[in-house]
């Protein structure tokens, strides 16, 4: 069994195994004619259940053959131009290379003595990101597993910085279309059930600052503490960007921590043409960025950045075996002092390789392309009487629905759109998302693939319209 340990004696076996795996993936990626095969849970689950995990195959080729059957053949492929559902990007090759390197070397970023150069590379990338944001000389941050964890950590810092120990009085203000991890964080942080105040959004799905001002005033009158305002720079559904300068101003007036959730919108930090859309982000006390959304990085790669490095002390705990207090005096850089995690992947390496090969503008141009595509998609939808589109995108999502001329019952329109999404998924021809707007069912394109063309969008819209027509036809048959 020692032949499976990666070491000096097995380096050649390692190369062969990884190459064999890489070739399988490359072949699948090259051959995928649809984003998905349309396989169902009922078809796939027995195949996986049948495998006896206590009887190993003992051989890489056999294990890969099996993997083709249970995973590779039917996986959802984000690189396909007609995968336009969620905030999953196609990945860039330098980052995938970084991924292969980091898992083989297997540095752990918690302490200097487990990573050395990895620690310094991560720190450079944190500094690079805070400089792009404009957080100032005292800024810092740390890589995390994703936006959910970044938001949690930011709100934990905000809670500790709040001027009260009475958790029941703490409030977080965020728009009605912000990410659900804000609510989840409030629960994890022990805040009360009313802790999150939902601020209405305008028709463009941006937080209404008059309403925010009103809610902040109300907190003050009621003796509540506005612990944080969470502004979203790129809402998950609409890509809308809250008015950051005005929100920053209100936070300053009310002494509230400003967290900017730029999990999606962070791609603008490197956009050659759209950076101005993030104006005001430099006033944040903390920022979430998901490189695994708009920097074309593989999952996972995210960071939380803070204006004031000293606030990270709220997550600093010392263990004699790992990061003794003494190490701080000796100026040994132990990243665990800044993180919710202990053992932690060297995800930063992927971004490092990407910047070293492609450069920031290279990533930004790709993100610009998908924003341009979304603008084109909006024009198509707005001009097409079969559809109704909700907002003009600032980033790269489109929320819309099919509105068949012959149907007036809103519930029937809902059902027809739900059906179209399901039928499309079952066919595997395209993968799209759905959401609700004002209680009604809508469809959603999330465009993160520069290879997707306007023709792809047109073709998918035709497929949707066909599925809707088919559903309505069958619906008529059922009624008669």
Ligand X SMILES: *Cc1c(COP(=O)(O)O)cnc(C)c1O
Query: Dihedrals φ, ψ of 393, to 5°?
Result: -75, 140
What share of residues in the chain are helix, strand, coil (percent, to 5)? 50, 15, 35
Give the C-alpha separation, 266 to 351, whole Å.
13
Which of 236, 240, 339, 397 is in the footprint of ligand X by CB under 6 A?
Answer: 236
The CB-of-283 to ligand X minimum distance in angstroms stands at 18
Which C-beta is closer to ligand X: that of 219 or that of 371? 371
Q: Using CB under 6 A, which of the segments 261-269, 366-374, 390-398, 460-468 binds ligand X?
A: 261-269
302 near ligand X (CB under 6 A)? yes
Residue whose C-beta lies closest to ligand X: 147
Query: Dihedrals φ, ψ of 443, to 5°?
Result: -105, 160
147 near ligand X (CB under 6 A)? yes
The CB-of-394 to ligand X minimum distance in angstroms stands at 13
DSSP state of 298: P
Site for ligand X in 66-95 (CB under 6 A): 87
- Cβ atoms within 10 Å of 143's Cβ, excluding its own: 29
Which is it for the CA torsion 166, 167, 168, 173, positive or negative?
positive
- Computed on alpha carbons and rounded to an integer, the radius of gyration of the chain in Å comes to 24
261 near ligand X (CB under 6 A)? yes
Q: Using CB under 6 A, which of the segments 98-106, 219-227, 258-266, 373-381 binds ligand X?
A: 258-266
Q: Using CB under 6 A, which of the segments 256-264, 266-274, 407-415, 465-473 binds ligand X?
A: 256-264
Which of 140, 290, 368, 429 is in the footprint of ligand X by CB under 6 A?
Answer: 290
239 near ligand X (CB under 6 A)? no
**b/e for 424-447, b at 16 or more Cβ within 10 A?**
bbeebbbbbbbbebeeebbbbbbb
264 near ligand X (CB under 6 A)? yes
Q: Is 150 in contact with 301 (CB distance < 8 Å)? A: no
125 near ligand X (CB under 6 A)? no
Give the C-alpha separation, 289 to 302, whole Å.
6
DSSP state of 352: H
232 near ligand X (CB under 6 A)? yes
DSSP helix/strand/coil, 148: helix
Q: Using CB under 6 A, which of the segments 8-16, 140-148, 352-360, 425-433 binds ligand X?
A: 140-148
* Residues at the site binding ligand X, with contacts judged by CB under 6 A: 87, 146-148, 151, 179, 181, 232, 236, 261, 263-264, 290, 302
């Amino acid at each position: 069994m020692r032949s499976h340990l990666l070491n000096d004696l097995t380096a050649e076996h390692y190369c062969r195994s990884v190459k064999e795996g890489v070739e399988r993936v490359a072949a699948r990626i090259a051959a995928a004619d649809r984003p998905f095969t349309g396989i169902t849970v009922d078809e796939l689950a027995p195949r996986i259940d049948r495998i006896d995990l206590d009887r190993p195959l003992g051989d890489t080729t056999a294990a890969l053959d099996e993997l083709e059957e249970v995973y590779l053949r039917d996986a959802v492929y984000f690189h396909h131009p007609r995968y336009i559902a969620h905030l999953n990007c196609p990945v860039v090759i330098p980052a995938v290379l970084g991924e292969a390197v980091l898992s083989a070397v297997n540095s752990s970023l918690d302490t200097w003595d487990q990573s050395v150069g990895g620690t310094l590379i991560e720190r450079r990338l944190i500094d690079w990101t805070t400089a792009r944001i404009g957080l100032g000389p005292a800024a810092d941050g740390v890589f995390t597993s994703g936006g959910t964890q970044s938001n949690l950590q930011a709100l934990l810092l905000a809670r500790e910085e709040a001027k009260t120990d009475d958790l029941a009085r703490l409030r977080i203000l965020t728009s009605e279309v912000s990410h659900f991890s804000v609510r989840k964080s409030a629960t994890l942080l022990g805040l009360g059930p009313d802790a999150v105040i939902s601020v209405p959004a305008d028709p463009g799905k941006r937080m209404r600052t008059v309403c925010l001002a009103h809610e902040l005033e109300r907190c003050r009158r009621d003796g509540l503490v506005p612990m944080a305002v969470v502004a979203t720079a790129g809402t998950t559904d609409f890509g809308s960007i809250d008015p950051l300068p005005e929100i920053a101003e209100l936070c300053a007036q009310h002494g509230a921590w400003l967290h900017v959730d730029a999990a999606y919108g962070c791609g603008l930090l490197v956009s050659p043409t759209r950076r101005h859309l993030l104006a005001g982000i430099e006033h944040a006390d903390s920022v979430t960025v998901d490189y695994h959304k708009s920097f074309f990085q593989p999952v996972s790669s995210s960071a939380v950045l803070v204006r004031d490095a000293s606030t990270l002390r709220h997550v600093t705990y010392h263990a004699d075996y790992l990061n003794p207090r003494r190490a701080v005096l000796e100026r040994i850089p132990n990243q665990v002092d800044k993180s919710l995690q202990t053992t932690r992947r060297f995800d930063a390496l992927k971004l490092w390789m990407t910047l070293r090969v492609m450069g920031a503008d290279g990533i930004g141009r790709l993100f610009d392309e998908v924003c341009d595509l979304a603008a084109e998609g909006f024009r198509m939808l707005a001009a097409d009487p079969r559809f109704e589109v909700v907002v003009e995108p600032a980033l790269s999502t489109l929320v819309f629905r099919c509105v068949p001329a012959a149907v007036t019952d809103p519930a029937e329109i809902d059902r027809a759109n739900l059906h179209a999404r399901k039928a499309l998924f079952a066919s595997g021809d395209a993968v799209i998302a759905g959401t609700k707007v004002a209680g009604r069912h809508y469809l959603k394109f999330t465009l993160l693939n520069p290879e997707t063309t306007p023709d792809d969008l047109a073709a998918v819209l035709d497929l949707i319209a066909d599925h809707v027509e088919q559903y309505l036809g069958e619906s008529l048959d059922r009624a008669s």
